[in-house]
Amino acid sequence: MRNQFIFIAIVFGTLYSQCDSYTSSECYSNSNCEWVESIESVTCASLVLDEELCEAAPECTYSCDDGGGYFGWCTSSCYGGMTYIDNGYCIEVEVLECSEMDGPNCNIDDSCEWVENFEMEWCSFDNAGSCNSVPGCNWGCDSWYTWLCGCEGQYQVDYSYCNEIESSECSEMNQQECSNDDYCNWVSDVQYGSCSQFDQNSSACEATLGCYGAYQYPGWYSGWYCAGGSYEIDNSYCEEVQYLLGDINSDSSINVLDIIEMVNLILEGDYNQVVDMNYDNRVNVLDIILVVDMILGN
């Protein structure tokens, strides 16, 4: 328990300030952070007022002419030609919802799918410039009434969007597989009835498992009825367990207790779909950050 609280304290203490204080190597080694390259070309002479920057810059050499120490101060110089300054910085990785993604980002995320949706719209632009700039639209005027002009035609509009993939794994399971999966629930739906209710419907009788057509007097072929006694129709199915994302202890609330459970998962190397906040099939510090965001936002 002590290790859990130490872990949580470390997470909270560095949660929102860690990325922007990282060096490039620290940033690259942290999956929650991203290094932004920013290289600036300058002359060595422009760095003369900053000794540390001059000495750190490739191709530059710093010197200080103090006149033999007589004046107690020196004339600074930064020698060299062109060099560069690395102004790169580390930022926190932004986690996007599927609905916020463009096509390329959507297609590389296993939890999202790109839905193409193109529709045709009538050209209704009120000037020739705007009209003619759209493929499929043309600005034209009446041959008799030259003042009567308008934009004609249709153009294609892209309403495509990124959609979250709904899991369908449970619906493909049998009862045993469903019962052994913590994320699925077996719903029993069995209907019972008497075959006699189909005495006037031969097709329904033959189509119902356990029922069959028969005659009261077989030799005379009279008195047809639906025999078989009773029937059973099993419409049972497996469905996905409905849960509150982030609520690993199932108390209908997102709080510090859930973070403690998440820490346990990370320390033990286990996985739980309920707290996989970014749907990357892993539970790590990034998921904890998202849960904390939920808590602070409530």
- Give the tens place of pLDDT for each residue, 167-181: 557 888 889 988 887
- What is each CA distance from 80 to 42, 45, 52, in whole angstroms? 11, 7, 15
CB 123 within 8 A of CB 144: no
- Cβ neighbours around 117 below 10 Å, total: 10
- Cα of 280 vs its chain's centroid, Å: 8
Residue 145 has pLDDT above 90, yes or no: no
pLDDT value for 71: 63
- Range(s) within the chain of domains with CATH label 1.10.1330.10: 243-298
pLDDT in tens, 70-124: 666 788 899 888 888 888 999 887 777 888 889 998 988 877 899 999 999 999 8
DSSP E strand stretches across the chain: 33-36, 39-43, 61-65, 75-79, 82-86, 89-92, 112-115, 118-122, 137-141, 149-158, 161-164, 184-187, 190-194, 212-217, 222-227, 230-234, 237-240
Cα–Cα distance between 184 and 294 in angstroms, integer?
A: 25
Cα–Cα distance between 189 and 41 in angstroms, integer?
A: 72
pLDDT in tens, 200-216: 888 889 888 889 988 88
Residue that wins the pLDDT comparison between 269 and 227? 227
Give the mean model confidence (pLDDT) for residues 148-175.
Answer: 86
Provide, rounded to the nearest whole percent, the portion of the chain with pLDDT above 70.
90
CB 84 within 8 A of CB 57: yes
Cα–Cα distance between 144 and 155 in angstroms, integer?
A: 27
Q: What is the mean pLDDT of the chain?
A: 84
pTM: 0.35
Cα–Cα distance between 249 and 268 in angstroms, integer?
A: 17
151 Cβ contact partners less than 8 Å away, ≥ 6 residues apart: 123, 124, 125, 126, 128, 130, 131, 137, 138, 139
pLDDT value for 15: 47
Cα–Cα distance between 224 and 288 in angstroms, integer?
A: 69
Composition of the chain by helix, strand, coil, percent to 5? 30, 30, 40
The confidence band for 244, taking pLDDT boundaries of 50, 70 and 90, is confident
> What are the b/e assignments for 129-147, b being 16+ CB within 10 Å?
eebeebeebebeeeeeeee
- Cβ neighbours around 257 below 10 Å, total: 13
Residue 11 has pLDDT above 60, yes or no: no
pLDDT value for 72: 67
Architecture of domain 243-298: Orthogonal Bundle (1.10)
Cα–Cα distance between 227 and 229 in angstroms, integer?
A: 6
What six digits make up the tokens of 279?
Answer: 């749907």
The confidence band for 286, taking pLDDT boundaries of 50, 70 and 90, is confident
pLDDT value for 16: 46
124 Cβ contact partners less than 8 Å away, ≥ 6 residues apart: 151
DSSP 259: H
